Structure formats: C-alpha cells, structure tokens
A and B are shown apart, each in its own frame.
Chain A
Amino acid sequence: KAGVTQTPRYLIKTRGQQVTLSCSPISGHRSVSWYQQTPGQGLQFLFEYFSETQRNKGNFPGRFSGRQFSNSRSEMNVSTLELGDSALYLCASSPKGDYQETQYFGPGTRLLVL
C-alpha cells in the first residue's frame, strides 16, 4: 500500500498570504489528522477529520482551517500568514480514527513564511 502523501513538500510564502496544503491518506483510511511542528513548540495537534467532518480541534486560531473530501483526502488552509506559521506540517491517517489505532504520518510540508 502506498503511504500517506503530502503536497507540496516545500513552500515559501510571504506574510499576509494564504496557503493550502494537501494530504492523501493511506488507501482505506478515513481519518486524517494534522500536526504543526516547530522547534519552539514541538508537535502540536491542529485538527482531525473523519468522513468529511471535523471531529477534534486543537488550540489554534481560526486562520487555520481544514476540510476533507469524500475520498478522504484532506486539505488545510492557513490564511493571513504570520512569520510564526513557519513550520513542518504533518498529516497522519488511520482507518477509523479510534484512539487505539496507530496513525501513519506523511513526509510533511515545510512552510517558510518571509
């Protein structure tokens, strides 16, 4: 089975712009979660989607949003980018989104905001 894929792998944006990141889960997986990784804050949970519905949300401002499509692919959007949004954004998938399940991560998208 192919793993979790994320596009693009690298992005450079300027402050004030918006960005959309994409995640394709492992085939058959219906849950997709997003995490932000920064040197200062570590790995932080953004949100989780299951069957096109957001089920859990982390403590991030409303500039961070996401959605999931009927084929389980997910996108996250960050509007009005700030310098502090520079990070590695990782998505993870699991079959049903039960907490007992192992989640498998993609290679991440490295976002640099100038």
Chain B
Amino acid sequence: AQKVTQAQTEISVVEKEDVTLDCVYETRDTTYYLFWYKQPPSGELVFLIRRNSFDEQNEISGRYSWNFQKSTSSFNFTITASQVVDSAVYFCALKYNFNKFYFGSGTKLNVKP
C-alpha cells in the first residue's frame, strides 16, 4: 500500500531558527515521485519541489533544502533561518503509476517573531 506519514502535527519555532519537517513514505514501486507543497491560510497548495525515486541528490533552493534517503524511505524538508512568512501547513506527497497524490496529513509550522 502507498502511504505517506508526517509524524509532526504541529511545530512552533522562533524566527531565524532552522526547522526540519519529516516525511516517511511507503511504496513497493521502484519508480515514484515525491513532492512537497505549502498551504498558507488562503488554502491554495503551492508547489515547492518534485523528486523522482532515482535521484537521491539533495536539493537546495535558497533557505529551503530537501534530504531524500531511499534507505530510510524519507524525504525531509529543512527551512534555514525561518521567517514568519514560512508559517503554513506543509504537505509531503507521493505519486506512482497514476496521476493521483497520496498526501501526508501535513505539518503545521508556526514561526513566531
């Protein structure tokens, strides 16, 4: 069965702290894609990153970085020097075979000034 687990329901940090959001996935398929989306209070899901199962290189984009480890089935997301604007719910998602997302339950990030 396909499954995505985001064990952290809610995280609170103070501005400028680094924070890591965990994502663990399950799939028997060898070819799959992992995604992270951000959902601000407005509701729209904003695409952050896509990673395929054959590319284990870590990715850095500004203050955002992602660590993909197939050995532990994890695709963790780190925000460096967090800002209040980073406050949102973050979703990790998996796709394989079909154009259908398996979403995690989301992690709500609160960044306090």
Contact = CB atoms under 8 A, between A and B. Distances in A.
B99 A101 contact: yes
Interface stretch (B13-21, B44-52, B67-75): B44-52
Interface string B26-44: 0000000101010000111
Give the interface size bracket for A toward B. 20 to 34
Contacts of B47: 102-105
Contact of A45 (B42, B44, B52, B101): B101
B105 interface: yes
A43 B91 contact: yes
B103 A43 contact: yes
A99 B98 contact: yes
A55 to B, nearest CB: 7
Secondary structure of the B contact surface, majority rule: loop
A45 B101 CA distance: 7
A56 B43 contact: no
Interface in A54-109: 55-56, 58, 88, 90, 92, 94, 97-108
A35 to B, nearest CB: 7
A97 B52 CA distance: 16
Contacts of A43: 91, 101, 103, 106
Given A42-B105, A43-B91, A100-B33, A88 B99 contact: no
B45 A99 contact: no
B91 A97 contact: no
A68 to B, nearest CB: 14
A104 B101 CA distance: 12
A108 B99 contact: no
Contact of A97 (B97, B99, B101, B106): B99
A43 to B, nearest CB: 4
Interface of A: 31, 33, 35, 42-43, 45, 48, 55-56, 58, 88, 90, 92, 94, 97-108, 110
Interface of B: 33, 35, 37, 42-47, 50, 52, 91, 95-101, 103-106
The 10 A-B residue pairs with the shortest CB-CB distance, nearest first, are A105-B45, A43-B103, A108-B43, A107-B44, A97-B99, A99-B95, A45-B100, A99-B99, A42-B105, A102-B50
